[in-house]
């Protein structure tokens, strides 16, 4: 609820605290935890998608390298 009030509805920390009957410190703590959890969830979601995309791009670069037109791709292959 803190995340919604602060980051979605743009209320101040103090306004959020008054509405929820919490201290300003409690609001800051809960907001920090909510943002961290959201960041972790999104990194898992986007990390999986990004990894699939990066692997496809790398495979394409490797193919380019094998045909002789991509020194950059061969350096990627060595670093992998």
pLDDT of amino acid 20: 97
**pLDDT exceeds 70 at position 46:** yes
- Cβ partners under 8 Å of residue 28, min gap 6: 13
**pLDDT exceeds 50 at position 78:** no
- Cβ partners under 8 Å of residue 19, min gap 6: 5, 11
Please count the structural domains in the chain: 1
Q: Which residues of 34-65 are buried (b: 16+ CB within 10 A; e: fewer)?
A: beeeeeeeeeeeeeeeeeeeeeeeeeebbeeb
**pLDDT exceeds 80 at position 80:** no
| Structural domain harbouring 59 | 2-79
**pLDDT exceeds 60 at position 31:** yes
What's the rounded Cα separation, in Å, for the pair 25 and 59? 49
- Local structure of residue 80 (DSSP, 8 states): -
């Amino acid at each position: 609820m803190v995340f919604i009030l602060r980051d979605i509805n743009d209320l101040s920390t103090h306004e959020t605290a008054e509405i929820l009957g919490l201290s300003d410190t409690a609001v800051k703590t809960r907001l920090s935890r909510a943002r961290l959890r959201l960041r972790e969830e999104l990194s898992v979601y986007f990390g999986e998608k990004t990894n699939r995309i990066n692997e496809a791009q790398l495979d394409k670069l490797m193919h380019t390298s094998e045909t002789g037109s991509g020194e950059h791709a061969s350096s990627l292959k060595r670093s992998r």
